[in-house]
Amino acid sequence: MKLRALLIAAALLVVFAPPAGAQRGVTVQLDGLQDGASVSGTLPLSVHASATSGIRRLTLTVDGEVVIDQSPNGIKQNVDASFDWDTTRYVGSSGLARNREYSVQVRAVSHSGGEDQLSALAIVNNQPAVPSGLSTSVAGRDVTIAWDANPEPDITGYRVERYFGSDYVEAATVTETIFTEAPGSGRFSYRVVAIRHSDASPEGIESVPTEQLTMTVSAPAPGSGAGGGGTGKSGGSSKRGGSYSTNGSVGATGLPGGAALPGSRGLGGIPELPAPEWGSFKKRLPYKLPKGGVPLRASAVSRSGGPLRIIPPDGLRWVALGLLFLCIAGFARLMAIRITPPSEPAKIEA
Amino acid sequence: MPFRRPSPRLISRVLTGAAIVLALAGIGVVAYPFATDLWAARIQRGLAGDLAAKAVDYEAGRVKVGEPLTQLEIPRLGVDVVVVEGTTLSALQAGAGHYPKTPLPGEKGNVAIAGHRTTYGKPFNRMDELQEGDRVILTTPLERHVYEIEGQPRVVELDDWSVINRYPKRGSYLTLTSCHPEGSADYRIVVRANLIQSTDVVAEAAR
């Protein structure tokens, strides 16, 4: 009977026994970070430790580096400490940190020898800085965009975006800090986005785009040489409507419908492409449209200003062609009847 | 060998034969657009029934080329067509097809759909009339996505694939493409729309 009572008491002790640390009266608490959370910027961390016998030592480490280490004088049952973690930099170093998982650990030891500790994982997910030093140059039909390398150690690439419609589309994603393409003729706006490696988002985290740089590439007129060249730099002298513009692209001559753009300067202004006339039966234009195309409304209007619809509606064209075939067929049949010699009438026997 | 002039009867027979051939060709040409429209309508009838049953395949990403992917509606133009997966000639006999390398409706990136502007039901015939703010609704077996046209239609070169590339990744876009000018494949007309709303069709039906 006594043995049974002892067994039950032992079992109850095992089940309801407090954890090792708490058993000796030590508890730690970490505020400001949830385990596995994606964090960025400066993260205010606060730690709290309590022990009935008093806290002997309280430490907070980030990725193995001790950032808080307190050993209170005398018996202090409650100890609080805080640390503002600048996640953009390595702890204890001025160098920019990588975006990855970091382990944050709190540990407290009491005067009675008890200890408690708590760990949390922080996924640092800082946005890269906006690329700087953006400059452009136009040589013939080639547009070159260059910028300074970002200082972050884990930049995976840069996306060069070209304006399309009412938004930007990717022209290319490159790992270098220079990009060249021949987009065709016309006015183009570019901007650059830096992409940083990130554990939190596999596609990477992107910077705010740079300000756009606008330039004009002139198409050489048939028979003439390539267009001239020019350069521009973000923050240059010609700012219109909140965007920086390069004014060095010139050189095309003899383009029909060419008109100088407002604000253009240098060698006689920037020629615009002539408006395509979709209604003409010679549908292909004598030049290639720029990448991203041209707005339909701006180009597909008749000289009177109304919408252009010279091409007959669907079906009517097919009907007309079919009727032409039928007419030719009828004509051929008529000719056949005319050519056929009249057959002799059958003799009627009396 | 002296040239023998063909007999009038032979010339007459040849002309009659040519007339019959031309007449048949003429009838064929006249009937072609109507025949393709009828053919597309027949395909569409089958697809409309299959679309709802494709929920499992759609969720698993197993929709094959030629199979129904989503219903496309443009209320202002009265367009209501089932879009199939793929943009091959045979797939596009249904009227409109989804570029296979682009995201599925509602996903991040740029969903691209090509459609006939003439023949085969010509679902994108009036694409040039689309205006900023017009709604395009894609209803998949699982969700209903409402896109809003941004900007105006643009005319691009046939080899300008930048218009259907996946970027910008930050948003969810829809790009509709067709031939331009109407009845010609010299250029491509494109229009871009922005995802503004997504609703769960299955959950709505369960309520």
Q: Which residue type occupies A176?
A: E
B167-194 tens-digit pLDDT = 556 688 999 999 887 777 788 899 999 9
User: Tokens in use for A178?
Assistant: 């220079």
pLDDT at A220 over 70: no
Task: Compute the radius of gyration of chain A from its Cα atoms.
Answer: 39
Contact A131, B125 (CB under 8 A): no
pLDDT confidence of residue A307: 43
pLDDT tens figures, B158-172: 888 888 875 556 688
pLDDT at B191: 92
Q: Are residues B132 and B107 in contact, defined by beta-carbon separation less than 8 angstroms?
A: no
Chosen for mutation from A163, A168, A169 (greatest number of chain B CBs closer than 10 Å) is: A169
Query: Please, are residues A247 and A262 in contact by the beta-carbon 8 Å criterion?
Result: no
For residue range A36-50, list pLDDT tens digits in order: 888 999 999 999 999
Contact A63, A51 (CB under 8 A): no
How far apart, in whole angstroms, are the C-alpha atoms of residue B88 and residue B82?
16
> Going by DSSP bridges, is the β-strand pair A26-31/B143-157 parallel, antiparallel, or unpaired?
unpaired
What is the per-residue pLDDT for A342? 65
Q: Alpha helices of chain B — where are they, by DSSP H?
A: 8-51, 55-59, 201-206
**pLDDT the model gives residue A200:** 80
Give the pLDDT band of residue B206 (cuts 50, 70, 90).
low
Interface confidence: ipTM more than 0.85: no
CA–CA separation, B19 vs B203, rounded Å? 62
Q: Chain B: residue nearest A338 by CA? A: B12
pTM: 0.50
Residue A82: pLDDT above 50?
yes
For A118-134, what is each residue's pLDDT tens digit? 999 999 999 999 999 99
> What residue of A is the nearest CA neighbor of B168?
A169
Domains of chain B by start residue, with CATH: 36-206 (2.40.260.10)
Q: Is the pLDDT of residue A207 over 80?
A: yes
DSSP 3-state assignment of A321? helix
Which pLDDT value is given to residue A233?
44
With a CB-CB cutoff of 8 Å, which residues 107-166 of chain A face chain B?
Answer: 159, 161-162, 164-166
The closest of B134, B129, B48, B119 to B84, measured between CA atoms, is B48
* Confidence band for A284, pLDDT divided at 50, 70 and 90: low
User: pLDDT tier at A228 (50, 70, 90 boundaries)?
Assistant: very low
Q: What is the pLDDT of residue A272?
A: 36
**pLDDT-based confidence at A108, cuts 50/70/90?**
very high
Instruction: Work out the average pLDDT over A20-46.
Output: 83
Give the CA dihedral A30, A34, A40, A46, nearest 10 degrees. Answer: -10
pLDDT band for position B84 (cuts 50, 70, 90): very high
Question: pLDDT (tens digit, 9 = 90+) per residue, B87-133?
Answer: 888 888 899 999 988 889 988 888 999 999 888 888 998 888 888 89
Helices B8-51 and A316-339 cross at an angle (nearest 10°) of 160
The band of A237, judged by pLDDT with boundaries at 50, 70 and 90, is: very low
Q: What is the pLDDT of residue B166?
A: 55
CA distance B22 to chain A (A): 5
Where residue B196 falls among pLDDT bands split at 50, 70, 90?
Answer: very high
The mean predicted confidence, pLDDT, of chain A is: 72
Residues of A (226-285) whose Cβ lies below 8 Å from B: 276, 278-279, 283-284
Return the percentage of chain B with pLDDT > 70, whole number.
Answer: 94
**Given a cut of 90, is residue A350 above it in pLDDT?**
no
Considering only residues 181 to 220 of chain A, which have any Cβ-Cβ distance to chain B shorter than 8 Å?
A: 203, 206
